[in-house]
Amino acid sequence: MSTMNISLPETLKSFVDEQVSSRGFGTSSEYVRELIRKDQERLHLRELLLAGVSRWRQALRRSVLQAQEAGHLRADADLEQLVFELDGLFTALVREARFLRNPEAESRGWASYQRLIQHYKA
* 82 burial level (CB within 10 Å; 0-12, 13-18, 19+): buried
**How many whole angstroms separate alpha carbon 78 and alpha carbon 73?**
10
Whether the full predicted model's pTM is greater than 0.95, yes or no, is: no
Mean per-residue pLDDT over the chain, rounded? 96
| pLDDT > 70 in the chain, percent | 100
Task: Tell me the backbone φ, ψ of residue 90, rounded to 5 degrees.
Answer: -65, -35
pLDDT tens track for 7-24: 999 999 999 999 999 999
Extents of the domains making up the chain: 10-120
Q: Which of 50, 49, 70, 77 is nearest to 86 (CA)?
A: 77
Q: What is the per-residue pLDDT across 22-76, written as a single tens digit (0 to 9) for each?
A: 999 999 999 999 999 999 999 999 999 999 999 999 999 999 999 999 999 999 9
Predicted pLDDT of residue 90: 96
Q: What is the pLDDT of residue 15?
A: 97
